[in-house]
Amino acid sequence: MIVHWVRVLAILMLTTAGIAVPAAAQDGSPAGKTDPEKAAQDALQKETDAFVKRLQEQGAFDDEAKAFVTKVALQKLRQTPDQRRQRRLAGGEKFEASLDRIRDALSGGKGGAAAGAGPKVREAAAAWLVEQARSGQPSIAANATMVLGDLRSDGKPWVESGKQLAAIAADAGLPPAVRAAAVAGLARHVDEVTAKALSPEFVEKTTPALLAIVTAPAPAFDPAGQWLVSRALDLVPSVVPQASPEMAKALMAIVSDQARSMDERVRAATALGATTTAESGVDSAQAVTAIHSLATAALADSLEAAKDRALAASLSSMPLANIQQSGLPDAGSATPVYPLGTLEVERDAWRLLKLSEAVAKPKFKKNKAGSLEPAWAEPLEGGLARLLEDNAAAVDLAKQLRTEIDGILENPTALRVSEARETITTWTPPRE
């Protein structure tokens, strides 16, 4: 069972952005000829050396420095995680090292000839990066925001950049990709203070930004907008330990909104279960019922997507690639099947886990065999059930969801997912 939970938890992975470089030179280049990739990296190292030296000696982020950062950092941040891995395999570590030096220099951590030169460089760089983020130039605005989020002071994320990132994230007039980059920067700040209390100043600035994102109209058919909302929802439990009535109402609305993406709705349920208190003004029994409906809808969504994919493959006379799981026959025909891939089943399991925790999150204790088991008799660690006077039905739902997770991971087929959906449907809601 523990292996299953590890696989489920491994589904939630954050992507990060880096710097892109020219395509790597092909292996086996003729002897005596210059490797273009190595030449580019060597040239960048020299430019970076000159850039860092200039900042340290003059203590000023001047026009020449701005031009260099624009050319190297901002214009080349667009890439996918796969491209980043490929670049590293091709020897791109030198480029990464140069980028780290550029970021360190902009942070002002190396100091300068004049007293206070380091902080002055950081402040000037931040002001310029904010200008670029708000410039309306799609090619560099999001990248400038990401670099802004990388600025550090005394080895930690710079508090002032957190304020600026919050302002960018809250600005509905900026493109979703730029705002999402700002939220990613805020997440970096939160990650750096794991197990420590966030500063009241950070919470004060960040909470309104998150509220502005989750209360905005649904970004229908807009992947960047949906990603922005999902990232903001991920931050809510860390930044807003106790949801205000306005925040709780917004989270509840997303959970129940069928026009929202399933990812947004599941993450909203997670935030709702983690942050709702008796003062949040949420009808906990109603919220548990909504999460139950969401659990069945999530599995139905997965099965429907498999059906659509199979239909598209059939119409194009193309086989379903890389999917070898048995499928679920269509009710109207004994011939077609709609297989689910293993990763899709694991995504379904992750969704059920997060929804289970939103309803009732138990403590885990070791049994006699040394394995961890949920201790349902102990006070709950989280979830809406802790707010119900009679939470037996809610706890039963959480248990049922966890049981179905084990079932679909042991037998990752569309048929087993369909059976899980039918089983979950039979749950009886708590009385209000």
The torsion angles phi and psi of 242, rounded to 5 degrees, stand at -130, 110
**Residues 151 and 107: beta-carbon distance below 8 Å:** yes
34's CB contacts (< 8 A; 6+ apart) are none
**pLDDT average, residue stretch 254-267:** 95
pTM (two decimals): 0.81
Comparing 321 with 299, the larger pLDDT belongs to 299
Residue 335 has pLDDT above 90, yes or no: no
Rg (CA), the chain: 25
- Per-residue pLDDT averaged across 24-44, rounded? 60
Q: What is the model's pLDDT at position 97?
A: 82
> 201 near 164, Cβ under 8 Å?
no
pLDDT of residue 328: 45
pLDDT higher than threshold 70 for residue 383: yes
Beta strands in 11-101, from DSSP E residues, in sequence order: none
Q: Can you give the pLDDT at residue 14?
A: 32
Determine the Cα–Cα distance for residues 88 and 122; give it in Å rounded to an integer.
Answer: 29
Say if residues 362 and 381 touch (Cβ distance below 8 Å).
Answer: yes
* Mean pLDDT calculated for residue range 327-347: 64
401: pLDDT strictly greater than 70: yes
Contact 74, 131 (CB under 8 A): no
Please compute the mean of the pLDDT values over residues 369-390 and round it to a whole number: 90
Rounded to an integer, what distance in angstroms lies between the CA atom of residue 358 and that of residue 376? 15
Residue 402: per-residue pLDDT: 96
Residue 309 has pLDDT above 80, yes or no: no
Domain ranges of the chain: 284-432
pLDDT of residue 221: 79
Two structure tokens written together for 307: 């059906």
What average pLDDT does the segment 309-329 reach? 57
281-285, 330-334, 407-411: which range is least confident on average?
A: 330-334
pLDDT at 185 over 50: yes
Distances (CA, A) of 247 to 210, 244, 272, 276, 277: 9, 5, 9, 9, 11
Calpha distance 135→229 (Å, rounded): 23
Distance CA 253, CA 239 (A): 20
Distance of CA 146 to the CA centre of its chain: 14
Give me the pLDDT at residue 241, please: 86
Nearest to 340 by CA among 412, 267, 273: 412
- Helix 2-9 vs helix 342-359: crossing angle, to nearest 10: 100
Q: Which of 235, 259, 273 is nearest to 354 (CA)?
A: 273
Q: What is the mean pLDDT of the chain?
A: 81
DSSP for 160-219, written as a single string:
HHHHHHHHHHH-TTS-HHHHHHHHHHHHHHHHHTTTSPPPHHHHHHHHHHHHHHHHSPP-
Residue with more model confidence, 394 or 76:
394
Cβ-in-10-Å burial (0-12, 13-18, 19+) of 83 comes to middle
User: What's the token pair of residue 319?
Assistant: 């086989």
Q: 421: closest CA among 429, 432, 413? A: 413
pLDDT of residue 198: 83
| Residues forming beta bridges with residue 156, ordered by sequence position | 153
For CA atoms 278, 281, 282, 283, the dihedral sign is positive
pLDDT confidence of 156, banded at 50, 70, 90?
Answer: confident
- Rounded distance between C-alpha atoms, residue 270 and residue 267, angstroms: 5
Angstrom distance (rounded) from CA 398 to CA 410? 19
Token pair for residue 425? 């449907």
**Eight-class DSSP state of 153:** E
What share of the chain in percent tops pLDDT 70? Answer: 78
The CA-to-CA distance between both ends of the chain, in Å, stands at 34
Give the pLDDT score at 290: 97
- Please provide the DSSP assignment of 224-276 as one string: HHHHHHHHHHHHHHHH-SS--HHHHHHHHHHHH-TTS-HHHHHHHHHHHHHH-
Distance CA 349, CA 351 (A): 5
pLDDT tens across 82-132, in order? 444 455 444 467 777 888 888 888 988 654 444 457 888 999 999 999 999
Residue 120 CA to residue 421 CA, distance in Å, equals 59
